[in-house]
Structures are given as C-alpha cells and as structure tokens.
Amino acid sequence: MTAPTFSDLSEAERQWIAAQLEGARQFVAAVSPSDASGPMTLEVLDRAWAAWLGREAGDQAEVNAIINFVGVQWGQFLVDRLGFAWTIASDRQGTDLAVRALPGQGDVLLYPANFVAKRWEKREANFLAGSFDSVRQQVEAVAAGRPLKPWWRFW
C-alpha cells in the first residue's frame, strides 16, 4: 500500500470549506431551531444530525450537501481544537479533502465527509462528540509515543 501524498488547499478549496461551514449553521437552524442562536458545538451538531435522520430524506443532492456540511464542520472542530490541518490527500484510490495531524510523527489522517457518509449509510446518530473524544485520545497517545491499545482488548 502506497502512502498518500499531501498538498495545500487552493483558494477555491478554502472558499468551499467556508461555504460548507456556513451551510452547517443554516442546517442547524433549519432542523434544530433551539440551537440556532447559540455557538456551534459538537453536541449541537449531534442534535441537528439526529433530528435530520428522523426526517424523510430528500434527494441525493440534499443528502450529499448535508453530509458535507456536517463532515466539514466536524473536521473544522478537529482543526480548531486538536491541531489538525486541512489538506488534499492523494493515493491510488483518488484525491479527497482530509484533515491531518502530527505530520512526520504519526500522520493521523481523517476524511471528515467520508466519516459522516459512513454514519449516514448506517443511519447512526449521536456519534460526533464521542468520535471527537476518541480521536483526541488517539492523537494524544501518538504525540506522547504511547502505543495505542487495540479497541478489542479489555486488559
């Protein structure tokens, strides 16, 4: 397996991210109006996603838009709070928007929109805050040089 290569974002890609973050705010206002006037938090995003999952899904364009809104907002939380950076990652599978932490030390790489799309396929709710905490723990372990305990080991 070939390691991915990374490139900086273009101005158009930065603008696209900004548009998705604005879309996330509008999405929250539409499906979770009680959260619209407060700050965007992981819990707010979880509530909005859960509310949306409970609705009749629109066409594929709407689903893709919501996945991008939520995925990019989740990725921005990783950037703002855990030291990730937006990047374009390319490998044999293709090229996609990703967030990356600890370059050269652990190369922690996540594809936020794909992460959310997988949860859409399962109709999974209330995963954003918990997943953020799991990512934080893993990044801290890699940064400290501690081996990660496999999830399936209980001892």
Predicted confidence (pLDDT) per residue in 124-150, tens digit: 999 999 999 999 999 999 888 876 655
Phi, psi of 133 (to 5 degrees): -60, -40
The pLDDT value recorded for residue 64 is 96
Give the single-character DSSP code of 126: S
**Is residue 108 predicted with pLDDT exceeding 60?**
yes
Q: How deeply is 11 buried, as exposed, middle or buried, from its count of CB atoms within 10 A (0-12, 13-18, 19+)?
A: exposed
The pLDDT value recorded for residue 3 is 85
The pLDDT value recorded for residue 17 is 98
Those residues whose C-beta lies under 8 Å from the C-beta of residue 34, and which sit 6 or more positions away, are none
Give the start-to-end residue ranges of the domains of the chain: 8-143
Mean pLDDT value of segment 27-56: 94
- Domain 8-143, what architecture? Up-down Bundle (1.20)
What is the pTM assigned to this prediction?
A: 0.91
Helices (H) and strands (E) in the chain, counts: 5, 4
* Beta-sheet strands, E only, within the chain: 5-7, 85-91, 94-101, 108-110
Answer yes or no: are the C-beta atoms of 24 and 73 closer than 8 Å.
yes
Predicted confidence (pLDDT) per residue in 69-84, tens digit: 999 999 999 999 999 9
Q: Sorting pLDDT into bands at 50, 70 and 90, what band is 30?
A: very high
Question: d(Cα 119, Cα 131) in Å, to the nearest integer?
Answer: 11
